[in-house]
Structure 1
Amino acid sequence: MVKFTSPLVLLAATALASAAPKGKWFDSIGIIMAENEDFLLTIQQLPYQALISQGLLATNYFGLSHTSEQNYAAILTGVLDPNIYRGDASTPANLNITYPTILDQLKANGLTYKQYTESYPGGCYLADMYPDDPVTALYYKRHSPFNMVSALRGTPECTTAIGTYDDFAKDVASGSLPNYFWIIPNDLHNTHTADTSPNPFVDADPWTATEGPKWLAAAQKANALFINTWDESRCDNQKYPCGDHKDQQIATILWGPMVQKNTTSDKYWNHFSIARTVEDNWGLKPLSTADANATAFDFLMANPSNDTSSSSGSNNGAGSGRTHPNVATSLVKASIDPVLMGAMVGLLSVFYSAI
């Protein structure tokens, strides 16, 4: 009797066990975060209307804080941390996330991540802005969540995990878009000029009109869910009275192969819903009570590679009746890279021919 204890077999088994799980709804998710604008004004802009026509507009989605950086951190950590703050005359700055993030969960499960940061100089840049001048700066660390993660910043990994926006096109072309990524527009293209310009979209509109088709194509190619959202509303009933606007209501647009085109949803969601959707998609453990209690984007259509329902069934989004694979199934089913599979088959063939 032959005992199958060859290192080659063990290597193949290890590779199988460590392969990243397939997503329940998508294989990749991208978050495009803009700044300080209200729902009603955003949806009047033609470039965003073009994105809405190719996906879903969430009409009842809300930001969490009128401190911008806290919203970024909340999506990444599942925690609305009042201690994350850019600093002012009376309060020192604290842009250091020192506790667990969704990146830890992804990494532990063999999933990849990256931030595509416009106007970022690269090289694990540590200063709070670039250029390092508040008059000319286009990149800000407070709008750059990966740069706020203390365990990542300044490490060898940060050179690959925090890239420039130019890296996005390269990764799409090479088919290496990560499982989880952010796109961070610079301070002109993120509508942050809302505080100083009568038209906050004067720079964002043409940029989005150019980049939007690229995002739509990337979603199809990578079976990716894209989420274009804003950190908070411009109105706050203090400095900027809300009037007909709702405080913290922000436009959030979702598109990808798993999203029915030209639809809307009035279901209540907020930034914790993004974290919850990532967790539900890959069967990850929630980071906190807030994201555990949040509602995921459960209108999404099942990932075809994980769809165990009848081929005669149909899925038209929320309420369609199709049952998505549950979390346990998502954890068991693994995505095996064809190259890896070929290598394992080759190793096993060599072993069996030797016994």
Structure 2
Amino acid sequence: MFKLASTLTLVLAATAATAASKGKWFDSVGIIMSENEDFWLTTQQAPYQALVAQGLLTTNYFGLSHVSEQNYAAIITGVLDPNIYRGDASTPANLNITYPTILEQLKAKGLTYKQYTESYPGGCYQADMYPDNPSGALYYKRHSPFNMISSLRGTPECLTAIGTYDDFANDVANGTLPNYFWIIPNDLHNTHTADTTPNPFADANPWTATEGPKWLAAAQKANALFINTWDESRCDNTAKYPCGTHLDQQIATVLWGPMVQKNATDNKYWNHFSIARTIEENWGLTPLGAGDKNATAFDFLLPNPSTNSPSGGSGSTSPRNGGSASASSSASLSKASMGLNFLGALGLMAGILVVL
């Protein structure tokens, strides 16, 4: 009888976790954060045009700060914190998020999370860069939001919550992609090399061309929303980076997944807080700060194809070149069928009881 109770508990827990993952628009969401580039240049690059052809480009999306790490932190805390700073000759570094993040809310809901960090050595590495040498570093903590969370860094949980980019392919193959995840490219593949090379996409383009099809396939398999955005624009109206005719802080943001129209654009105003608000509204989470509380969730997303949930709104989205607004029906799983699966599990338990 003890075995039966234990098995039933596991089945009920698994069923509850599956139900919890079903959101208003998606069951999983991934944020791919690139660095320091303007909308006009990004949208000229072939690998990103290929992603837009399979998704949606927001044409009026803006970063929040010209301090990179503050943009990362804002998405997971709902707060634009001026005290988060990598440090310079006059200001000490502060890469410590000590206040609530969306991770605690996800955990309370039984939802999972992970960061896939390229060129990260693993093992809860705590230094500010790896290799620990500014002339050769590829990983930086200031571009790694999970590593900035003080309550997570250095704990046993960080071994599973902060992984390498190799973990991404394994989790997709095993069907264990978490509900909430970040992909952090290294400093060659995130366009940050614009600081030292004439072409900021020299390394990013071939990497994105290789990884992009994998991201598209993963979105379909996991019913996931992928968001590839940039932390801030390169132009900031300084002598070094004048904006000219371009808008300061306008950045490219590309979204794709079964709940996103293909080959489409949206011209409504959005910023990084919109990402946080969309995730919160998808799973019924409470806003963390004034930034995400006052933001609007993406209203161009289609209903979650795995739940047949009500539509999230039409927004101002327009298909590009006749792109379809239909969500994929192949991933559909109705609430009724979920109920039947649950009843089937109870039936299995009843069978076990008879055997015992």
Q: TM-score, normalised by structure 1?
A: 0.87
- Does residue 1:23 correspond to 2:20, yes or no? no
Aligned partner letter, 1:116: Y
Instruction: Give the distance between the partners of 1:83 and 1:154, measured in 2 at CA.
Output: 22
- In 2, are the aligned partners of 1:9 and 1:348 still within 8 Å (CA)? no
- Does residue 1:40 correspond to 2:37, yes or no? no
Q: Secondary structure at the match of 2:20?
A: coil
Q: 1:266 to 1:81 in 2, by over 3 A?
A: same
Aligned partner letter, 1:46: A
**Which residue in 2 is equivalent to 1:180?**
180
**Which residue in 2 is equivalent to 1:248?**
249
- Does residue 1:274 correspond to 2:270, yes or no? no
- In 1, are the aligned partners of 2:172 and 2:218 still within 8 Å (CA)? yes
Instruction: Give the distance between the partners of 1:32 and 1:241, measured in 2 at CA.
Output: 26
Instruction: Give the distance between the partners of 1:350 and 1:253, measured in 2 at CA.
Output: 49
**Which residue in 2 is equivalent to 1:197?**
197
Aligned partner letter, 2:138: L
Structure 1: 5+ residue stretches without partners: 1-5, 323-332
- In 2, are the aligned partners of 1:34 and 1:230 still within 8 Å (CA)? yes
- Does residue 1:297 correspond to 2:298, yes or no? yes
Identity of aligned residues (%): 76
Instruction: Give the distance between the partners of 1:145 and 1:199, measured in 2 at CA.
Output: 26
Q: 1:45 to 1:103 in 2, by over 3 A?
A: same
Q: Secondary structure at the match of 1:20?
A: helix
- In 2, are the aligned partners of 1:20 and 1:335 still within 8 Å (CA)? no
Instruction: Give the distance between the partners of 2:151 and 2:133, measured in 1 at CA.
Output: 26
Q: CA deviation at 1:17?
A: 5.5
- In 1, are the aligned partners of 2:29 and 2:225 still within 8 Å (CA)? yes
**Which residue in 2 is equivalent to 1:347?**
349
Q: 1:335 to 1:17 in 2, by over 3 A?
A: farther
What is the CA RMSD across the aligned residues, in angstroms? 2.8
How many residue pairs are counted as aligned between the two chains?
334
- Within 5 Å, give how 1:332-343 maps onto structure 2: none
- In 2, are the aligned partners of 1:26 and 1:225 still within 8 Å (CA)? yes
Instruction: Give the distance between the partners of 1:280 and 1:315, measured in 2 at CA.
Output: 10
Q: CA deviation at 1:162?
A: 0.5
- In 2, are the aligned partners of 1:21 and 1:335 still within 8 Å (CA)? no
**Which residue in 1 is equivalent to 2:330?**
none
- In 1, are the aligned partners of 2:21 and 2:28 still within 8 Å (CA)? no
Structure 2: 5+ residue stretches without partners: 318-324, 326-334
Instruction: Give the distance between the partners of 2:7 and 2:124, measured in 1 at CA.
Output: 40
Q: 1:65 to 1:339 in 2, by over 3 A?
A: same
Q: 1:20 to 1:156 in 2, by over 3 A?
A: same
Q: CA deviation at 1:315?
A: 9.8
- In 1, are the aligned partners of 2:129 and 2:138 still within 8 Å (CA)? yes
1:27-83 deviation per Cα after TM superposition (whole angstroms, max 9, x unaligned): 110000000000000000011111111100000000000000000000011000011
Instruction: Give the distance between the partners of 2:154 and 2:347, measured in 1 at CA.
Output: 40
Instruction: Give the distance between the partners of 2:233 and 2:38, measured in 1 at CA.
Output: 5
Q: TM-score, normalised by structure 2?
A: 0.87
Aligned partner letter, 2:191: T
- In 1, are the aligned partners of 2:69 and 2:142 still within 8 Å (CA)? yes
